[in-house]
Structure 1
Amino acid sequence: MASLGRSSAVFAVMTLLSRVLGLLRDMLVARYFDVMVTDAFYAALRIPNTLRRFFAEGSFANAFVPVFSATRTEHPEQLKDLLRHTSGTLLGILLAITAIGVLFSGAIITLVASGLSERPEQFMLASDMLRIMFPYILLISLTAMAGGVLNTFGQFGIPALTPVLLNITLIAAALWRHYHGAPHDGSVYGMELAWAVFLGGVAQLALQLPFLYKCGMLLRPRWGWKHSGVRRILKLMVPTLFGSSVGQLTVLINTYLASWLVTGSISWLYYSDRLVELPVGLIGVALGTVILPRLSALRAADNDAQFVRTLDWALRWGFLVGSAAAVGLIVLAPSIIAGLLYGGRFDAHYVEMTTLSLRAYGIGALFHIMVKVLAPAFYAR
């Protein structure tokens, strides 16, 4: 368990750095952009973020790693062929999804946040932002697949560090806006946030490539819909799609309902959700990411005793630290929100409204953490 502890610690430290920068980015965006702009931005960002949870952090990743890890253990000579066909199939599917998203961005915003149509200027801003940000799902999904490969080879630091780059580009966009200020003629602004997301996705994928090359896994993609390994991954994705879709459907419903409420509602929910993601990422995702390759290898070796021991270790740590984190979010919600976001365009009323939603989200934090820890055991089997 010592090696798992070290790997979890490395992943958690890198994740902590990313989350801290993420909080800084949210603080700057909240202070330097009007809620009309942030509502449009976060409504548009929900779509690539939701698809990212399916492909990058959810269904695909959780199906790919067990198959890739098992192939490395049982049939190492087939490993590169599996990666070529998997990456090619994923790339083809994502290119089609991205093209549809770019062409029909307005219709997608209407579906996800139809309340924005009551404010045409805000609706057009969200639609334009989505058109620029949609390719992010292609970039981040390929990045996640690369991270899964590196994790299987025991390299957890670089994949965990990757999200830092998106935070850096968004921080740069917020500082640029602060330096230039809002347009004096009252015209719509905020497109720099969308471009920051796109550039962040490019940077995240680019960071992984040298390390893939070092592992000998930087390969030319090939379409492989009928490849046996690809079919196995797709088969494993079916149950994980259901598990991922429940939580993401809730988020989309929240965004849809918030779009019909007062301006600022989407932003308040987003900031609360982001704060809950901090302990979920540091505890649940860190533990789940580290144990998944190990559980997959143990399952492939039919070592059930060690499989149970590894899962038990992760569950105990997840429950212990997750309980404290959930209580902290609920009790300290006003201080957390005021300390991080209050100032500039984010006034006392915004602090109060965000506090209410954070307390509600905080109730479910422990359960989200435990799901992230427990789910890899099912995916590995």
Structure 2
Amino acid sequence: MKNKVLCGADRIVRDGYVFNGRCGLITNHTGVLKDLASTVDILKDVCNLVALFGPEHGVRGDKQAGENVSYYTDQKSALPVYSLYGENTFEAERKISSLDTLIFDIQDVGARFYTYQYTLTDSMKICAENGVKCIVLDRPNPLGGMRAEGTILDSRFSSFVGRFPTPIRSALTIGEFAMMMNETERISCDLSVIPMDGWKRDMYFDDTDLVFIQPSPNIPTVDTAFSYIGTCIFEGTNISEGRGTTKPFEMIGAPWLDSGRVIDLMGNCDGVILRECSFTPTFSDYKDIFCHGIQLHITDRNLYSPFSVGIKLFDIINRTHKEFEIEPFLFNLTGTDEIIKPDFSAEDFIKRETEKTIQWRNFSKKWHMY
């Protein structure tokens, strides 16, 4: 039995929210109501909506990771669209400063690497500087709200894939994250969050009666979002993280990877089975090149620690493959450079980071709404 959940966007219609003055909307293809009607269409009927703002992947979610999106007019709504991702954000920032209210409605995935949350906090800073009201329409954390895990970001490695001292998996909704950052990072904008109805912290996304719309091209399923917590770190190496396949982040591999040996050294992992596989990416790393790979099959989400599995995979591959290469971007993803030290112990590292994350989660409860 699915749990009935209403997102913040649904409550606009049900509760008759009123938005003042000239309004802008940060959204993408995930900004929909329960009946899949676009938030853009709904807001056009209830407020003076004058502009749309797109995060990474664009307002319609059709751009690949890192692809720059320029200013254009949305064909369906006839509204101007400004990009908040990449180098050309000046026009977007200037437009936000001219608004009375900025609304945010995007489905996040609950991972520190995911850039939508930093699009939000950057916009909150612009709002604070210009006296613009910011309203977040809350949505579920697909990974639930109970378990946080992963390294706490070292400020030396702050970037657009990890800006604040949070764990990789925060267990916060996007609204809770906004409230926490508004206070802890002293953004101090005029922020309101329209909460969900019916969501509880022990719910994964597919425990709800909501439709999961892939938040970006390479997060097609809820299971992908889980494994993304652990395997995204391979973006900072010469291991393919499965982009260009139908199972991104659920498979990793390379032409030179000894998959069987790695799996043997991994041993049994709680909540997930590792299987030898092969794939040939159609784009991204190793495009059109046959790769030996490892696929992660989740058997129990409550037991599965994607962060622990990802760190152990990294450590084993690093110790057993001379072909393995690391790029500085790795540290932006992991939030630390400890994992490449000669005396690195994956088990000890995971234990220490788990203790830190438990402390962080207890601290973050101040901003829990559910």
State the TM bucket, normalised to the shorter chain.
under 0.3
Greater strand percent: which structure? 2
TM-score by length of 2: 0.27
Give the alignment's TM-score, normalised by structure 1: 0.27
Higher helix residue share? 1
